[in-house]
Structure formats: structure tokens, C-alpha cells
Amino acid sequence: MNKFVTANPSKCIGCRTCEIACALAHSEGAGVEGLAPGSFKPRIRMVKTADVSTAVMCHHCEDAPCVNACPNNAIVYRQHSVQVEQERCLGCKNCVLACPFGVMDVVTVPAVRQFAGMTLSLGVKAQAHKCDLCIERGDAGPACVSVCPTSALTLMDREAMDETLRRRRERAALEAAEVAA
Amino acid sequence: MEKHMAVCPYCGTGCKLNLLVEGGKVVGAEPLNGVTNEGELCLKGYFGYDFINDTKLLTPRLRNPMLRRSRDAAFEAVSWDEAIQYAAKKLGEIKAKYGPDSIMTTGSSRGTGNETNYVMQKFTRAVLGTNNVDNCARVCHGPSVAGLQVTLGNGAMSNSIPEIEHTKCVLVFGYNVADSHPVIAKRIIKAKERGAKIIVCDPRKIETARLADLWLPLNNGSNMALVNAFANVLINEGLYNKEYVASHTEGFDEYKKIVDKYTPEYAAAITGLPADDIREAMRIYAAAPSATILWGMGVTQWSQGVDVVKGLSGLALLTGNLGRPNVGVGPVRGQNNVQGSCDMGVLPTEFPGYQKVTDPEIREKFAKAWGVDSLPGEIGYRLTDVPHLAETGKLKAMYVMGEDPAQTEPDLTQVRKGFEAMEFVIVQDIFMTKTAMFADLILPATSWGEHEGVFSAADRSFQRFTKAVDAKGDVKHDWEIISLLATAMGYPMHYNNTKEIWDELRELCPIFYGVTYEKMEGLGAVPWPCRDLDSAGSKYLYEGNVFQRPGGKGLLFATEWRPPQDQLTEEFPLILCTVREVGHYSCRSMTGNCAALQTLADEPGYVTINPKDAKALGIRDQELVWVSSRRGKVITRASVTDRTNKGAVYMTYQWWIGACNELTIHAVDPIAKTPEYKYAAVRVEAIADQIWAENYVQQEYAKLKGGLSNAVTGAAKKAPAYA
Ligand code: SF4
Ligand code: SF4
Ligand code: SF4
């Protein structure tokens, strides 16, 4: 099963700590001082409506619409997650339209190439932009999960999922017993 | 990478963290397992440190003492020697000419720490000879202190922060915990998971209202009526603890007489709430085996703040929810050390350790310890009196430390006039602020991260924080500067470190005596009262239901509801209420210089408005709008949201362009002198030409930032020797 991060709306307080942590985890070590409104592109977004506050991000679907929609096979299954091979991304936005959760975006970043010790600018490069489960952080795991002050975020893997399901079934059984009584 | 233990400098939760330092620069923060935070931080704790590094995003750090010899001159950088001599001479002259009470000082509830605050009030009392010292608690939880001191005898939170998650009922009143204290919000979520009932009284659908079992969206300005109705239900439905009331309280008959009128039906008309919801709330509250009341600025920033605080403590007394674990009353302090500045006696009424200036024996004790013949016994001026006192010529000099009244006080036009009327203004800060622009002399101090000391968390816990990096520039610790000034004024004062100061004050304050630096080593937190060296402090107050009042009983107190002062009219039909938001803090000189926090929200800030009101005014989400009151007019951005109730708009007070305090009214509580920030009549207007408006905001912002930064760089250029 693919792993994914889930948010519990009854715990989220809409503080956006997760957004900053996510942006920082993908800042190539630039640190907080590299953050600025124009370039702030977290892969997790806090959403606040009249009745709900919660964070939304990629579900790392098992049969992912974005993977299926990509004409250039730029989105792949790797290490129990859905990952984008950025070199192959064309920026066609098929994946953006395919994603039912609105958590895939296409962004442009400055493209550069190293040549004879010099950095050459090659204009811009498109990137399909979404949660990569902080794959680069290795054992440190998802940055958003580690900072959320109310523990509203959890990393779901098979084990965590089984545990949740077990609890749900138990509750269902209890409720059924109550109805019967 | 080095790690240095600190306590977060933002809210009163008192989260412990490590500052990560590389090459003399703070590069990160990681949570520690402190008593109040247990390994959590919010975004300010995690990402709110880079202001130390002088990012200049909003305003520059101060690097040199700066002086201007006349108000129309520019600032020039001067040596410490010259700055101190100048200040001593000026203050000395003013004191000789107009008397000691013509001078006022402030403590700072922010990053400087308790020791500095102790030294500041000592300087004010022993050297200047006045009790004119105050701190920004005046504009926030002053009413909580004043109210609780009367009814229970102690102005602080009765129980500790960790206990919140073990209570069985949380009554949240006028307190947006998610935005004010995110890490305390987790405690409330945990309490709910453990089966606690949550009741929220707030006109807005705040985050806590979402998870509440019962949400009471009362009309803005009807607090007292609701609290009286709560008492009415407890008494008339026989839900109160008769035995407790009989043995531990007084004033019941008088109390009952007043609240009798406030039947839920009567209160319904004032609060706009269904009478049955009022009843239901008290049935839940009274049924809980343990219940905690938490409140914030929604209770205190009213002209009737003190009365409502007294009323809330009455609910706890009626139900016996005091004097044991997991219950109590919690005025949750906003700024990280506002509890501390009160603890340290930067109050016009009290010496450190809540010892009254009006008590001759206490004065005698402090006079002896400080080596002066006598100390002033008359209560000093309050911060909110300053504009008026200055304009009427009673106040001639002001020494402002680490506060920004020209941003945070109500009715800023009045505040500016006040500063202009004064003969001599000293501002001691880490940043060039709006207030500093009025100063004659600016004294640059070290920042949080560059010094050590002790903070008091909202729940009375003393915790130590350490220094992470060396300060850059010609700056000094706050307490060092004050000592130099005292010495120059003929009162030799010298401390080698904060521990020396701490030990001096410990000896003078019986309730802090047992709190040693050793006990606060590492993650140690010691809640006062802590009278003995072998005591671990008091997690909760009023053990054995003994209240700190003559006779030891709690006082039940009620009074009639009074409507708010400002009048809604056709011209100004909406209520403006000032609030805070999670990513920014206080006057924003700190968070506005943090890249991450600035990224989430920037000038001109927001006014939140209900979709129905917005539609009627032709305003769309994210458009710039004008907001005006009888006192001023500002530009800000509309945030149209269902969470805001109809008829009211909300602005956070930290914006420098969209400065809501240009609009607020100077109507204060008669006792605590806390202003009515929560109710000003305003008008909101759409702006047809949005492109013009966006440009206007950018221009104003650039002008403001430019002014602040030129004041600093210009001064440095003039006197290169000290730059
Ligand atoms: S950090 Fe947690 S509480 Fe805050 S917005 Fe993200 S999910 Fe919600
Ligand atoms: S797991 Fe990593 S990439 Fe995904 S949302 Fe969280 S922080 Fe961002
Ligand atoms: S601002 Fe408050 S809740 Fe957030 S980390 Fe700092 S002390 Fe903790």
C-alpha cells in the first residue's frame, strides 16, 4: 500500500505551521530566510471554510488519476508513494485536472545548467508539484507531521491503516450491540 | 551545530525550545520536552527566530545609541557614555523642576525577562522616586488581575497549563485559544478526547467553537449579561454547591439579589442567545466533576472588563471549582512574559511579589534593601493615562522599554499628541519602532537569543532561558543600561549577571523565595508561590479553599450589565473588534521581521467581514477597503468569511498600515484602566479603483519602512566612530 499523510479536521486549528515546514523541507537548505510570499509553494494547504479547518495534500492513490493522465510517464510509483520524475514533466497540466483533491499543481522554477564551472540560465522548467512524502528526508519522515502542534497530521502506512480499521470495526460492533439491546 | 535552550518569546504558553546556532547565527529551532509544551511548538516557536539576525524585512535592529538634540533634527549615533550622561542630566533636570511624578517608565512584557523588569521598577522607585511604572498588561489582562485580586486574592491563573487536559469541562469565554496559544489548544483537544465537555462563548465561529459541545455566539458587548444569567441559572436551578458557598465564600445574598433579574429570558434579549442554551451551558458546567474557565481579551478589553472577570470567578466559586487539581479560573496571558512583568512589580500599585506600595512596612523593607531613606507610597500613573497626562502637562518625560505604545495603544492620534507634548522621551528597544520615531534618545538593547534570564509562563511557572549568540553592534543588556543610568544619576547600581538580580529579588519576595536558578536548570519550571527552598512550587492556588483575602473566603460579586461606550449610528453602523492572529504577535516588530511569518501574512493586514455585510457594501474577498471611525481612517484588505458574525468586523492589531488602533476608542475600565478595544463603531467602504489602492498601500509601506530604516542608517553615517 502507498503511504500518505492524513489530517484530522477535529484537531486542526488552522495555524499553517505544516505549510511552512513543507516549504522549508523543499528549500534545498535555504532556511527560513529564503521564504517570500511570491515563491511560497507548500505542497500541503490549510483550508478553512465556515465549519471546517483542515489540511489537504496528496493521497498517494493506489490507482492514481495523475499517473494515468500523464502523457509522458513522468509520474511513477516509487517507495510506496506517488513520485514525479521532474526531468520528464512537460508542464501539460493533465495531472492537475485529473487529481480529484486539487492537490496537484504545475509550477515553474528557474532552469539552470552547470557548464565548465559556470551556471547557465535556461529559462524556466515546469514541475508537477505535490506532496512527495518528504522522501528526501529519509527516516526523519514527513516534515508537516513532525511539526503540527495539535498532532492533527498522521502518516498512514499499512500498519497505521490496519489499526484505524480495527478501531472502526470495534466501534461499529459496539454500536450494533447497542441497537440490538 | 550548537544548541542553546530557550523559552519561546511569543505567547504565554512558555514553550521550551533549543535554538540551533551555526557560525554565530541562529539557523533553526527545535522543540524541547518542557513542562507546558511537551515537545510541541507552533509556527512562531518553530519559525519565529530570524528577527534576531536583522533581516530588515520590516524594521532594522538598533546598533548604536542615537540622540537628537531637537525634535526636528535627525538622529545621530553617539557613544554609550554620552547617551547615558545625556539621559541622566535630562531626567535629573526634569525631576528637579517638576518633581519625580512627572516621569514615567515602562517595563517590558516581551523578550527581556524578569530580571530587567525588576531592575526597571527598582530604578523608577529608588532612583526617580515615583511609582509611575507600568507595563502592557494594562492593555490586556489588567482587568483579570484587578478583578481576581478582589474576589479570590490572586490575579493569576489558578491552575497550571498541563491540568487543562484533565478537566472534565472547559468553559472558554472570549478567548481564541487556537490563534493565541496554539499549544494550549492541543490541551483542550486532548481534554475533549478524554471526554471533557467544551462550551465556547464567542460571537465568532473561532476554531474552538468548531469542536465545542455548545457554542454560544453572544452579541458583541453583552458579556456581563451572560455571566449574570449563568449565575442566575446556577442559583435558581439549585445547581450550585451550597456547602461550598456556605463555608468558603461571602457576599451571597447581595450577589443573588443582583443576578436575580438576569433570568435566561431577560439575558436572551441582550445577548441574542436562546434562553435554553444559556441554561444548558450551566447544566453542563455544574454537572462536571471538575471544570475550568479560560478567558482572554474578549473578556478584558472592555470598559466593563473587571466586572466580568469578577463574575466569571463567581461561577467557579458557586460550583466549588477552585482549590484543587484540574479546575479553576484561567486568564491566559497573551505575551510571553506579561505574567512576569506583573510578578516583578512593574505596576504602579505593587512592588515585586505583589506587595502593595501603600503598605508602610513593605516600603520600609524595600527602602532598607535598596539603601534609600524612603520610597514613594502613592500609587503611580497607568500607561493608558499617558496621553492625557502629557497633554495636560503633568507628565514631562517617559522612558519606554521594549514596548511600542504608538502601535498598540487605542486612539493613536491621541497617543502621538501625548508623545509630542513631552519634554524628553527615551525609547529602549531592539528595533526601530513607531514609538522610537518620537524619541529624543534611543538606547539599543540585546535581543532574546542574545541574553539570558527567567520568564514567567501564563500559569505562573518560572522558566530559565539562555543566550544563544553574541549581539552585533554597540548594544547592551537592558538591565545593564538601566544600571548605568541609575549610577549616572547618583545611585550606584551594578550587577554582574541575571542570577545576582534574581537572588536579590528572591530575598525580597516571600512567594518567590524558593525559586532558585538551580531549580530552573534545564527544563525545570517552578510555579509560584514557592516559599521554601525545598518546595517545588504550587501547581494550583487556594489549597484547602483558603483564599488570599482577609478572612480567607472568596467573594461573590455581580453588577449590572452596561452597554459598550461607542455608539453605532447610520454613519458608523458596524462594530469593530480588535483581535490577534496566529502567525503574528504584538506590535509585529519581531514577527514582521521573520521571513516565514511575513510570508503567510503581510501589510496592510485584514478586516474580516461576514459575506452578507460585504455584499451589501459591494465588497469582494481580498479587495482593499477603507475602514473609518470617529477617530481615524485606515486602508486594509477585506477577508470575507462566514466565521465572522453579521454586524461586526474584526482587525488584528499588529498592522502598521492597516493600524486598527487609529480607529479604537479611549474608553477605559474605571478600575483597571484597560481600553475598550473590542467595540468601536466603524464604517467600511469599498474602493472602486483597486489598482490605485494596491499602489497606495505599497507606497505607504515603502515610506514607513524607509523612514524607520533611514533613521538608523542615517544616524550611523553621521558618526562613523560608533557605527
Ligand atoms: S499544522 Fe496541524 S493544526 Fe496547523 S494547519 Fe497544519 S494540520 Fe492544521
Ligand atoms: S509529507 Fe512532506 S511533502 Fe508531503 S505535505 Fe508533508 S511536508 Fe509536504
Ligand atoms: S508562540 Fe506560544 S504556543 Fe507558539 S511556540 Fe511560542 S510559546 Fe509555544
H-type alpha helices, B327-383: 338-343, 360-370
Mean pLDDT of B354-374: 93
d(CA B521, CA B16): 12
**Across the strands, what pairs with B423?**
none
d(CA A33, CA B575): 38
Instruction: Say what the pLDDT of residue B585 is.
Output: 57
d(CA B504, CA A163): 56
Mean pLDDT of B75-81: 92
Q: Which one of B47, B51, B609 would you mutate to disrupt binding with A, by most A Cβ within 10 Å of its Cβ?
A: B47
> Does the Cβ of B580 fall within 6 Å of ligand 3?
no
- Which class for B451: exposed (0-12), middle (13-18), buried (19 or more C-beta within 10 A)? buried
Distances in Å between the alpha carbon of B685 and those of B236, B576, B654, B682? 47, 14, 21, 10
| Closest alpha carbon within chain A to B187 | A150
CA A148 to chain centre: 14
Chain A residues near residue B594 by CB distance under 8 angstroms: 32
Q: Give the model's confidence band at B242: pLDDT under 50 very low, under 70 low, under 90 confident, else very high.
A: very high
Is A27's Cβ below 8 Å from some Cβ in B? no
pLDDT at B629 over 90: no
> Does the Cβ of A131 fall within 6 Å of ligand 1?
no
Among the partner residues B43, B205, B598, nearest to A17 by beta-carbon distance: B43
ω into residue B604 within 30 of 0, thus cis?
Answer: yes
CA atoms within 13 A on the CB side of B140: 28
Q: Give the model's confidence band at B584: pLDDT under 50 very low, under 70 low, under 90 confident, else very high.
A: low
> Does the Cβ of A55 fall within 6 Å of ligand 1?
yes
Is A24's Cβ below 8 Å from some Cβ in B? yes
Q: Return the residue whose CA atom lies nearest to atom 6 of ligand 1.
A: A18
Instruction: Say what the pLDDT of residue B670 is.
Output: 63
Instruction: Say what the pLDDT of residue B239 is.
Output: 94
Mean pLDDT of B33-45: 92
Output the furthest CA–CA distance in chain B (Å, rounded): 76
Chain A residues near residue B189 by CB distance under 8 angstroms: 10-11, 150
Q: Give the model's confidence band at A27: pLDDT under 50 very low, under 70 low, under 90 confident, else very high.
A: confident
Q: Give the model's confidence band at B312: pLDDT under 50 very low, under 70 low, under 90 confident, else very high.
A: very high
**CB-based contact A149 B47, cutoff 8 Å:** no
Distances in Å between the alpha carbon of B469 and those of B2, B23, B447, B448? 10, 9, 10, 10
Worst-scoring range by mean pLDDT, A67-81, A98-112, B586-600? Answer: B586-600
Grid coordinates given for B233: 441559572
Among the partner residues B47, B179, B642, nearest to A20 by beta-carbon distance: B47
User: Element (H or E) spanning B311, and its range?
Assistant: helix B305-318
| Closest alpha carbon within chain A to B642 | A50
Q: Return the residue whose CA atom lies nearest to atom 7 of ligand 2.
A: A22
Chain A residues near residue B27 by CB distance under 8 angstroms: 31
User: Which residue among A3, A24, A41, A44 has the greatest number of ligand 2 atoms within 8 angstroms of its CB, and so is best to mutate?
Assistant: A44
pLDDT at B720 over 50: no
Q: Which residue has the cell 474608553?
A: B667
Answer for the pair B199, B169: CB distance below 8 angstroms, yes or no.
Answer: yes
d(CA B427, CA B444): 9
**CB-based contact B596 A149, cutoff 8 Å:** no
Ligand 3: nearest atom to the Cα of B585: 1
- Which class for B600: exposed (0-12), middle (13-18), buried (19 or more C-beta within 10 A)? buried
Answer for the pair A47, A26: CB distance below 8 angstroms, yes or no.
Answer: no
Q: Give the model's confidence band at B605: pLDDT under 50 very low, under 70 low, under 90 confident, else very high.
A: confident
Q: Which residues of B293-306 are buried (b: 16+ CB within 10 A; e: fewer)?
A: bbbbbbbbbbbbbb
pLDDT in tens, B395-437: 999 999 988 777 666 667 777 888 888 999 999 999 888 888 8
pLDDT at A180 over 60: yes
Pairing outcome for strands B350-351 and B355-356: antiparallel
Rounded to a whole number of angstroms, the distance from the CA of A25 to the nearest CA of chain B is 13
- Residue B599's closest CA among B233, B133, B57, B105? B57
Is A20's Cβ below 8 Å from some Cβ in B? yes
Instruction: Say what the pLDDT of residue B509 is.
Output: 95
Q: Return the residue whose CA atom lies nearest to atom 4 of ligand 1.
A: A15
Instruction: Say what the pLDDT of residue B599 is.
Output: 85
Answer for the pair B447, B51: CB distance below 8 angstroms, yes or no.
Answer: yes
Mean pLDDT: which of B24-28, B142-146, B582-586 is highest?
B24-28
Q: How much is the ipTM here?
A: 0.84
pLDDT in tens, B258-310: 999 999 999 999 999 999 999 999 999 999 999 999 998 888 877 788 899 99
Q: Return the residue whose CA atom lies nearest to atom 8 of ligand 1.
A: A12
**Opening angle at CA B161, ends B158 and B167, nearest 5:** 80
User: B92: how many CB neighbours lie within 10 A of its CB?
Assistant: 14
pLDDT at B583 over 70: no
Q: Which residues of B34-44 are buried (b: 16+ CB within 10 A; e: fewer)?
A: bbbbbebbbbb
Q: Give the model's confidence band at B357: pLDDT under 50 very low, under 70 low, under 90 confident, else very high.
A: very high
Q: Give the model's confidence band at B723: pLDDT under 50 very low, under 70 low, under 90 confident, else very high.
A: very low
pLDDT in tens, B464-480: 999 999 988 899 999 99
d(CA B239, CA B258): 18
CA-atom Rg of chain A in angstroms: 19
Worst-scoring range by mean pLDDT, A51-65, A125-139, B537-551, B669-683? Answer: B669-683
Rounded to a whole number of angstroms, the distance from the CA of B673 to the nearest CA of chain A is 32
Rounded to a whole number of angstroms, the distance from the CA of A173 to the nearest CA of chain B is 20
Mean pLDDT of B375-380: 92
Distances in Å between the alpha carbon of B335 and those of A132, A137, B332, B626, B686? 37, 34, 9, 29, 34
Ligand 3: nearest atom to the Cα of B36: 8
Grid coordinates given for B312: 466569571
CA B94 to chain centre: 30
Mean pLDDT, chain B, rounded, equals 88
- Which class for B496: exposed (0-12), middle (13-18), buried (19 or more C-beta within 10 A)? exposed
Ligand 3 centroid–CA B246 distance in Å is 41
d(CA B464, CA B454): 4
Mean pLDDT of B24-40: 92
How many contacts does A have with B, using Cβ atoms within 8 A? Answer: 91
Ligand 2: nearest atom to the Cα of A18: 7
Ligand showing the shortest atom-to-Cα distance for residue B47: 3
Instruction: Say what the pLDDT of residue B176 is.
Output: 87
User: B325: how many CB neighbours lie within 10 A of its CB?
Assistant: 13
Rounded to a whole number of angstroms, the distance from the CA of A35 to the nearest CA of chain B is 6
pLDDT at B678 over 80: no
Domain boundaries, chain A: 4-180
Mean pLDDT of B312-319: 94
Answer for the pair A132, A80: CB distance below 8 angstroms, yes or no.
Answer: no
Three-class DSSP category at A96: helix
Among the partner residues B41, B46, B599, nearest to A37 by beta-carbon distance: B599
Mean pLDDT of B661-690: 74
| Closest alpha carbon within chain A to B42 | A149
User: A124: how many CB neighbours lie within 10 A of its CB?
Assistant: 12
Instruction: Say what the pLDDT of residue B721 is.
Output: 46
Chain A residues near residue B41 by CB distance under 8 angstroms: 17, 147, 149
pLDDT in tens, B316-353: 999 999 999 999 998 887 778 888 988 999 999 999 99
Answer for the pair B168, B469: CB distance below 8 angstroms, yes or no.
Answer: no
User: Which residue among A5, A10, A15, A45 has the greatest number of ligand 1 atoms within 8 angstroms of its CB, and so is best to mutate?
Assistant: A15
Q: Which residues of B254-285 are buried (b: 16+ CB within 10 A; e: fewer)?
A: ebeebbeebbbebbbebbebebebbbbbbebb
Chain B residues near residue A10 by CB distance under 8 angstroms: 189, 210-211
pLDDT at B589 over 70: no
pTM (predicted TM-score): 0.86
Q: Give the model's confidence band at B665: pLDDT under 50 very low, under 70 low, under 90 confident, else very high.
A: low
d(CA B317, CA B308): 14
Ligand 3: nearest atom to the Cα of B184: 3
d(CA B564, CA B677): 11
Residues shown for chain A: 181
Ligand 3: nearest atom to the Cα of B17: 5
Instruction: Say what the pLDDT of residue B520 is.
Output: 92
Mean pLDDT of B209-229: 92
Q: Which one of B17, B22, B42, B49 would you mutate to disrupt binding with A, by most A Cβ within 10 Å of its Cβ?
A: B42
pLDDT at A104 over 80: yes
Ligand showing the shortest atom-to-Cα distance for residue B457: 3
Grid coordinates given for A93: 497540466
Ligand 2 centroid–CA A96 distance in Å is 18
Q: Give the model's confidence band at B582: pLDDT under 50 very low, under 70 low, under 90 confident, else very high.
A: low
Output the furthest CA–CA distance in chain A (Å, rounded): 80
Q: Which domains does chain B have, with CATH numbers?
A: 2-53 (2.20.25.90), 82-140+336-494+501-519 (3.40.50.740), 146-332 (3.40.228.10), 574-713 (2.40.40.20)
Instruction: Say what the pLDDT of residue B671 is.
Output: 63
Q: Return the residue whose CA atom lies nearest to atom 3 of ligand 2.
A: A131
